[in-house]
Amino acid sequence: MQVMNAGWTQVEEEVARKAFDIAYKREINALIDSVRSKASCLNEIEDMWHLHDFLSVKRHEVDGRYDYNLPMLVFVFAGLIKDGWITVNELEGLNSDKIAKIMALSYM
């Protein structure tokens, strides 16, 4: 088994990439649904500015959360589990030490 960057095997990296992409797709789809709902309720110019502000905050949150950097993925996955975007079962294939760290961090 070949070891990749930051102590991640090739299999672990494939599992991580898949889980990362699943979480991203789920969050983006939820955001799109939320924007559609908010946009359908626009009645005043202030409503539009509130939607703009909402989108600005969400863009910052999403850009910050989805940084695929192997040394930081344990923390990223803990946050994604905590926020409900992935489950620990979707990380099956990572070694037990990584899973234990992710689970401990996700309950903090």
* Secondary structure (H, E, C), 66-99: CCCCHHHHHHHHHHHHHCCCCCHHHHECECHHHH
Which domain, by its residues, includes 76?
11-106
- Indicate whether 63 pLDDT > 60: yes
Residue 6 falls inside a structural domain = no
Which amino acid, residue 81? I
Q: What is the mean pLDDT of residues 68-78?
A: 94
The count of structural domains within the chain is: 1
Can you give the pLDDT at residue 22?
98
Residue 44 falls inside a structural domain = yes
C-alpha span between 1 and 17 (Å, rounded): 18
Give CA separation, 66 vs 38, 69, 72, in Å: 24, 9, 11
Residue 99 falls inside a structural domain = yes
- Indicate whether 107 pLDDT > 60: yes
Phi and psi of 94, rounded to 5°?
-80, 155
Residue 2 falls inside a structural domain = no
Banded pLDDT at 108 (limits 50, 70, 90) = low
Whether 24 contacts 90, CB under 8 Å: no
Residue 3 falls inside a structural domain = no
Residue 88 falls inside a structural domain = yes
Residue 1 falls inside a structural domain = no
pTM (predicted TM-score): 0.87
Residue 4 falls inside a structural domain = no
